[in-house]
Amino acid sequence: MAQTTTELEPGGAIVETPPTTLSHDLHESTEAAEHGTSGLPQFEFGYWPGQIFWLLIVFAILYVILSKLFLPRVGGAIEARAAKIEGDLADARAARDEAERQSAEAAAELAQARGRAQKTAADAKAAAKAEADTRNAAEEAKLHERLAVAEAGIQAGREKAMANVRSLAAETAEAIVEKLSGQAPTRAEVDAAIARNAA
Amino acid sequence: MADPMHQFEIQQVLELPAVAGFDLSITNSALWMIIAAASVTLFFAAASAKAAVVPGRLQSVGEMLYELIHNLTDSIIGHEGKRYFPFVFTLFAFILAMNLLGMVPYFFTSTSQLAVTATLGVLVIAVVIAVGFARNGLGFFKLFVPSGVPFFVLPLVVVIEVISFLVRPVTLALRLFGNMVGGHVVLKVFGGFVVSLGALGALGIVGALVTLTGTVAITALEFMVAFLQAFVFAVLACVYLNDVVNLHSH
């Protein structure tokens, strides 16, 4: 294989520094005959086999590299992303469902607690009311009793006073009658007279 | 003015001994094929190095190209398309790399060589025929016999179908070749105008400025053409493959 060095020159031409092999000169001469300038450079058919050969080789290598290595990688990344998004969405959906479930649970618990609290409050209120009622009743009964005792005391006092008044009246009447008539009436007569007037 | 055809001239870069009378030396055309393939390899090595979930710029571009062609094989060939995806993608990436490298001043455009585009066209049709026979056996020939055609025009239709099939590699080759050569010649000629008009004095400079604006616009257009022709080549390869992959649905 001939060693060549290439460099780019304005105009797109690639200039070759001639290799120092004998075969090249031989080749050059045949080439000049083959690739004579006849119109479009594209129709210099002497260069076709090389282009076709290298095109097929390069294409085949590129095909293998892309189909075995890079396309699966790129496709894998796209699929991984789609799967990740799908997974994340599913996770988010599950988390949302869980949160909703917990929120419902909490609401139910709250309602239950509120019910319980209300019941407790009602119970306490009822108990307190009952206690107050019984205490009131007891107090009232006690008061009634005291009232009755007091009333009885007053009644007794009045009766006693009335009795005192009668005896006082009898004595007074006895004294008045004695003064007026000069004769003391008997106690029985006086009592009878008082009873007649009091009736 | 510089010869606009000079840029297409083949130069020998590395001389190799002839094989069976064929000169297989590496020319500038072959060299730039190798550079193009190496560029594609390096690009995808860099683009797929990390395979990150949140892609960087390079990875994004790589994945965009991947999905562009993947959608193509998927939508045109269908479910079977993924078997042919690497082939179509290699075609696309290789042609795109050769076209884009050709846009750099002083670089050589391998796709401006008919030998290259013709080989690519024939390669596509060879793969189509191979896939056609592998999948359908002799049923491959049903490709040329459309169903639902009255029998008395059938021979004519078959002849037309065969010719249109045989013309496919020719159109593939000429479309790419013509676009690349045409664009580069126009660029060269316009660029030459800028220089030669600019040398004509004050009025010439005004003309040169107009031509320069045109050259810039054409350069932008050529970048689009470079991409579009690679894409068209890939699309047509998919269409032709679909013909033989889904032969029964014809």
Which of A14, A20, A23, A85 is the best substitution to test chain B (most B C-beta atoms within 10 A)? A14
Query: Residue B224: what pLDDT?
Result: 96
Radius of gyration of chain B from its Cα atoms, rounded to whole angstroms = 22
- Is residue B69 within 8 Å of B230, Cβ to Cβ? no
Query: Residue B17: what pLDDT?
Result: 76
Greater confidence (B53 vs A90) lies with A90
Q: Tell me the C-alpha to C-alpha distance, in Å, between residue B209 and each of A179, B198, B206, B214, B230.
A: 171, 8, 5, 9, 32
Query: Residue A25: what pLDDT?
Result: 42
Global confidence as pTM: 0.71
Q: Which of B7, B145, B147, B132 is nearest to B80 (CA)?
A: B132
- Is residue A16 within 8 Å of B11, Cβ to Cβ? yes
For B63, what's the count of Cα atoms within 13 Å in the CB-facing half-sphere?
Answer: 23
Q: Which of B53, B67, B115 has its CB closest to that of A48?
A: B115
Q: Tell me the C-alpha to C-alpha distance, in Å, between residue B118 and each of A42, B125, B126, B171, B178.
A: 11, 11, 12, 9, 11
From chain B, the residues in CB contact with A24 under 8 A are 15
User: Which residues are CB-neighbours of B85 under 8 A, at least 6 positions away?
Assistant: A71, B69, B70, B73
Q: Which two tokens stand for residue B92?
A: 């696309």
Reported ipTM: the value is 0.90
From chain B, the residues in CB contact with A49 under 8 A are 22-24
User: What are the start-end ranges of the H helices in chain B?
Assistant: 28-47, 57-76, 81-102, 114-136, 154-198, 202-245
Query: Residue B151: what pLDDT?
Result: 83
Query: Residue B149: what pLDDT?
Result: 81
pLDDT mean for each 10 residues of chain A (199 residues): 44 44 41 51 81 93 93 89 92 95 95 95 95 94 93 92 85 84 79 76
Which of B15, B101, B124 is the best substitution to test chain A (most A C-beta atoms within 10 A)? B15
Query: Residue B249: what pLDDT?
Result: 60
Query: Residue A124: what pLDDT?
Result: 95
Q: Which of B8, B192, B188 is nearest to A40 (CA)?
A: B8
Q: Which of B6, B13, B17 has its CB closest to that of A6?
A: B13
Q: Which residues of chain A from 50 to 89 reach within 8 Å of chain B, CB to CB?
A: 50-56, 58-59, 61-63, 65-67, 70-71, 73-78, 80-81, 84
> B51, A77: Cβ pair inside 8 Å?
yes
> A70, B45: Cβ pair inside 8 Å?
yes
Residue B226's pLDDT band (boundaries 50, 70, 90)?
very high
Query: Residue B1: what pLDDT?
Result: 55
> A14, B70: Cβ pair inside 8 Å?
no
Chain B, nearest residue to A48 by Cα: B115
> A47, B23: Cβ pair inside 8 Å?
yes
> B113, A76: Cβ pair inside 8 Å?
no
From chain A, the residues in CB contact with B177 under 8 A are 42
Chain A, nearest residue to B39 by Cα: A62
From chain A, the residues in CB contact with B40 under 8 A are 62, 66
Cα–Cα dist A191/A196, whole Å? 9
Mutual angle of helices B81-102 and B57-76, in 10-degree steps? 130
Look up tokens 């060299």; give the residue: B31
> A51, B113: Cβ pair inside 8 Å?
yes
Regarding beta strands B12-14 and A6-8, do their DSSP bridges make them parallel or antiparallel, or are they unpaired?
unpaired
Query: Residue B4: what pLDDT?
Result: 76
> A47, B114: Cβ pair inside 8 Å?
no
- Is residue B236 within 8 Å of B172, Cβ to Cβ? yes
Chain A, nearest residue to B95 by Cα: A59
SS3 (DSSP) at A2:
coil
B165-221: pLDDT as tens digits: 999 999 999 999 999 999 999 998 998 888 888 888 888 888 889 999 999 999 999
Mutual angle of helices A48-65 and B28-47, in 10-degree steps? 10
| DSSP secondary structure letter of residue A1 | -
Question: Which stretch of A61-65, B57-61, B146-150, B225-229 has the lowest confidence by average pLDDT?
Answer: B146-150
Query: Residue A174: what pLDDT?
Result: 82
Q: Would you give the distance in Å from CA A116 to the centre of its chain?
A: 19
- Is residue B64 within 8 Å of B73, Cβ to Cβ? no
Query: Residue A136: what pLDDT?
Result: 93
- Is residue B106 within 8 Å of A11, Cβ to Cβ? yes
Mean pLDDT throughout B93-116? 92
- Is residue B241 within 8 Å of B80, Cβ to Cβ? no
Cα–Cα dist B127/B242, whole Å? 12
From chain A, the residues in CB contact with B87 under 8 A are 63, 67
From chain A, the residues in CB contact with B181 under 8 A are 42
Strand positions, DSSP E, A61-129: none
Query: Residue B14: what pLDDT?
Result: 79
Name the minimum distance, in Å, from the CA of B222 to any CA of chain A: 17
> A75, B181: Cβ pair inside 8 Å?
no
Q: Which of A62, A69, A36 is nearest to B120 (CA)?
A: A62
SS3 (DSSP) at A94:
helix
Name the minimum distance, in Å, from the CA of B116 to any CA of chain A: 6
Q: Which of B245, B94, B243 is nearest to B176 (CA)?
A: B94
| pLDDT > 90? residue B49 | no
Q: Tell me the C-alpha to C-alpha distance, in Å, between residue A173 and each of A162, A176, B140, B151, B203.
A: 16, 5, 163, 168, 171
